[in-house]
Structure formats: structure tokens, C-alpha cells
Structure 1
Amino acid sequence: MSTAGGARTVVLCQRDDVPDGEARRFDVEGHRIALARIDDDFYAIGDQCSHQNYSLADGWVWPDECALECPQHSSSFDLRTGRPNCFPATQPVPVYEIRTQDDGVAVVLP
């Protein structure tokens, strides 16, 4: 873990821990994070669906849309912006900056 200006960088996992086209949930310092992988790119958003309290990491990654779909009511969220792409969710989820170093995947916490 490193810090700069109040932000903290925390290693979540190794690159191979998240298969391409899948997402995993990580609970770090009070943050629920869904880490999704599309090819060699990683995206981190808040894991709690803004419609109801369901884990987004249990849903489906849509590579062509760069989105993660909630398994409960099918709202999907843009992995780049956190904004919902469809109802019933209307509020965005947080987006976290990702840093890859060596074989590790880290997230920047506010």
C-alpha cells in the first residue's frame, strides 16, 4: 500500500486472479469493489448496485459495451464512468482508478 495526497493505492490481486470476461468482489478498507477484466484491461467500480443492494461482481461482464450487469434486475453499469445504462438503476456507482504493476492489480482509494 502507498499513499499520496490522502489517496491510498492498495493491491487487490494478481492479474491472473480475474479471468478475462469476469468480475470479482473485493472488500478493502470499507469499500466494496467489483473488479472486472476485459482482455488485458481492468476496471473497478462500486460493487453495490445503486438500485438495490446486490453485488455487481456476481453479474455479467459485457465486453462490447464495457459494462457490468447486475444479476438481480438487469441494470448494467458503464465500467468507465459508473453510470447506469438502463433501468431500474438511475444513479451511478463509484469508479476507482486502477494501477497495474508487475503482475499485480491495484486500486486507488480516496
Structure 2
Amino acid sequence: MPYVVTEKCIQCKHTDCVSVCPVDCFHEGPNFLVIDPDVCIDCGVCEPECPVQAILPHDRLDAGQIEYLELNRELAQSWPMICDRKDPLPDAERWASVSGKLAELVR
């Protein structure tokens, strides 16, 4: 039962979650992070670290978020692993409360 990075991360990309992950399951794209569901051990330590609540267990995704499970799986295969915390994107604060950001995702 993996954890999933959802839309709230798009254009924010806080990496507090990355630094606590015991199995290095995060991958980094230009403006989004994803979790490799095949590596995630469902420990949950990443979820409370996200300042925008972008990380959820897959069984708590609502109908509008379920597509993010497959998106995390797909992008984790091509994006590089990230293991260390970095600064969020420059406009992260402005984007934190915006919804409907999927079109902003840079692959």
C-alpha cells in the first residue's frame, strides 16, 4: 500500500519528505515529486513532513486523485531519484493553495 504524491505538490516541490524516507523511493521532476510505489514500504513518515499535505496513502485518495497513483508509477520510472532535501520552487507559497494544477505538470 504505497503513499502517493498528489496534485498539491505541482509547482511547489517541497522536499522535506525526501530527507526522512528510509528507502529512497522519491523521484524528482522539474516541478513535481513522485513516489515509486514498487519501492515504498508504506511506513508513512513522509506524509506529515509535507507542508502542503500533498502525500496520501493510496487507499485515502479520492476519485479526483486516483490518477496520481499511476502517474507516480509512470514518472518514477524515468525521473531521477532524489535523496536529499532541497529548497522548494521559488513560487511554492503562491501555488500551495491552487487547485487544478495537473496541466502545470512538466514531464
Larger radius of gyration: 1
Larger helix proportion of the pair = 2
Shorter chain as denominator, the TM-score bin is under 0.3
TM-score (ref. length: structure 2): 0.27
Q: Which has the higher strand share?
A: 1
